[in-house]
Structure 1
């Protein structure tokens, strides 16, 4: 199945080759979870803060639930400001 994988800010460097700006369309196995993608692309879980699927916030427990075909997974690191 295909999903869109988006990483923002300091996480963009973890995107695989072929990404355009901060996103790439990936072919993934059925039942792939957000955490599996995070681990596959070596994104440190400690740097994963905000996770959205199709624009809807996903808490830590929900990150082990399978994605569906054509979902968009978007991930941001913790934000610092001042």
Structure 2
């Protein structure tokens, strides 16, 4: 799954909740109005698309502060075997 695919999923989830799309990777998740429930929904959509569960640990999730961090996180998670 590409970075642009992940961003498109993020924006789909935000639009579903009546929120504005992400305007820049440098935005904080707070400024982008991207919440933990949104993160979970994106993760589930990615898992459905890939046909497998994503493997990641909670510690790496705590470091997420920006949209770039979210994209990096999911990019890494989708590459893991």
Q: What is the TM-score of this pair, normalised by structure 2?
A: 0.33
Q: What is the TM-score of this pair, normalised by structure 1?
A: 0.33
- Normalized per residue, which structure has more helix? 2
